[in-house]
Amino acid sequence: MRHILFMTALTATAAAEPARFNYDESKVPPYSLPDPLRSAAGAAISSKEAWIGGLREETRQLIEREMFGKAPARPKLNFKVEEEATPALNGKVRRKQIAVSLSGKAEGPFMDMLLYVPAGATGPVPVLFGLNFQGNQAVSRDPGIHLCRSWLREDVKGGIVQNKATEASRGLQADSWQIEYATSRGYGVMTACYCDIDPDFHDEWKNGVHALFPEIEAKRDGATWGAIAAWAWGMSLGIDYLEREPLADAKRVIAQGHSRLGKTALWAGASDTRFALVISNDSGAGGAALNKRIFGETVGRLNSAFPHWFCGNFKKYSDKEGDMAFDSHQIIALIAPRPVLITSATKDLWADPKGEFLGGLHANPVYKLLGTDGMTAEEQPLPDKLIDSTIGYFLRTGEHDVTKADWEAYLNFADKHLPKP
């Protein structure tokens, strides 16, 4: 297979993670990236038809088998409207709450979805859909949101508890969701807690959706799905619902996520072409950042700290990223020609902002083959400047987080790139 060779020569430092990880650009080793327009057999393609009709699926299957794992078919949609559209947030929005069955059975278990749309909307609106970390009640100070009834992260270090959502948790992550701002711009916002789908700890696949497929778990091998594939599977189930929802324009749904859920948004968008646009914030290694750069978090660290996120096959690349026959630019290329926005933060070197930019840049050949402008920036831009080409990029000043500045970039990018109704 032909590869593209890269060398680096800049310097960066970081103090947030252990010293054994690299934050120095001069110490990034030489690395090669697979050509996204060349098959495993070495054949180059030069037409849209060859990508759409063959190489795209070959690439998707490779990444599915070696990184995320294969998800089962989703069940037939079964849902309960637990609250019809109700005025909320001082009448600025309408709030709707829906329980979507993960098993396809009326008794659940359920993914509890929270949907906000602008109060003045006269028709279906585009929707930003992303999973949250702490339960729906944490995304807004709205007292009408039902408390999360599933597993929850107890603290930012990742401790997991069950059924511990309290009134005190309302609005804990409201600043990261900017619901009133997004709806004032004409967008709907939908979310569900990622632990509704699969709790974020290594439980030997005994909880969450994995437990609903005993026939799969009984034959678990290196290509069986991990938690990120499960969360992405749940996001696709959310689109299944939105296709029935009169308040939402199901042809203009945006997959968005932060950190591990930024990785999830990328894989959801790569796996399900119904997402019209994808936004990945601070997704780092295993997300938008090139794994082969060996900067900040590494594949080895991902697999040791979070052994449940990826499939078993991905573990063979721990500290052996050079053996990978794929990298993040090919995950991003699977989204083509749909728009994708990659966002980073200047102080989040653990997530490798430059590597995230390069992940987008090196998806360019596929995007351009399919008739788009791809990524128009050739170098990582200065902070707080939105690159709004079809592969977009935004480097925010600050830490690993989601802020109003990020949401402004999200919506400005969506204003330009979402299909018109």
Q: For the chain, give the percent of residues with pLDDT over 90.
A: 90
What does residue 94 show for φ and ψ, rounded to 5 degrees?
-115, 135
For residues 9 and 58, membership in a common domain is answered with: yes
Q: Which residue pairs, CB below 8 angstroms and at least 24 apart, start in 312-318?
A: 312/69, 312/220, 312/221, 312/222, 312/223, 312/224, 313/65, 313/66, 313/67, 313/69, 313/222, 313/223, 314/66, 314/67, 314/68, 314/226, 317/66, 317/291
Q: Name the pLDDT band for 162 (thresholds 50, 70, 90).
A: low
Q: Quote the CA–CA distance of 81 and 90 in Å, as a whole number.
A: 22
Per-residue pLDDT tens for 239-278?
999 999 999 999 999 999 999 999 999 999 999 999 999 9
- Judged against a pLDDT cut of 60, whether residue 354 lies above it is answered with yes
192: tokens are 């569900």
Q: Name the pLDDT band for 157 (thresholds 50, 70, 90).
A: low
Give the pLDDT mean for 76-92.
98
By three-state DSSP, how is residue 200 classified?
A: coil
For residues 39 and 90, membership in a common domain is answered with: no
For residues 97 and 44, membership in a common domain is answered with: no
For residues 120 and 23, membership in a common domain is answered with: no
- Judged against a pLDDT cut of 50, whether residue 209 lies above it is answered with yes
For residue 175, give its domain range: 79-251
For residues 245 and 289, membership in a common domain is answered with: no
| Catalytic (active-site) positions | 259, 400
Q: Quote the CA–CA distance of 260 and 147 in Å, as a whole number.
A: 23
Residue with tokens 């351009």: 368
381 Cβ contact list (under 8 Å, min separation 6): 387, 393, 395
For residues 121 and 30, membership in a common domain is answered with: no
Please check whether residue 397 lies inside any domain of the structure: yes
Give the pLDDT mean for 203-213.
94
> To the nearest whole number, what is the mean pLDDT of the chain?
93
- Judged against a pLDDT cut of 80, whether residue 181 lies above it is answered with yes
43 Cβ contact list (under 8 Å, min separation 6): none
Task: Count how many domains the chain has.
Answer: 2
Please check whether residue 258 lies inside any domain of the structure: no
The string of DSSP letters for 228-272 reads HHHHHHHHHHHHHHHTT-TTEEEEEEEEEEETHHHHHHHHHHHH-
Tell whether pTM > 0.75: yes
Candidates 282, 304, 405, 409; CA nearest to 355 is 282
For residues 218 and 316, membership in a common domain is answered with: no
For residues 83 and 62, membership in a common domain is answered with: no
46: tokens are 């030069």
Per-residue pLDDT tens for 284-319?
999 999 999 999 999 999 999 999 999 999 999 999
For residues 281 and 310, membership in a common domain is answered with: yes
- Residue 240 pLDDT: 98
For residues 233 and 353, membership in a common domain is answered with: no
By three-state DSSP, how is residue 71 classified?
A: coil
For residues 102 and 225, membership in a common domain is answered with: yes
- Residue 8 pLDDT: 36
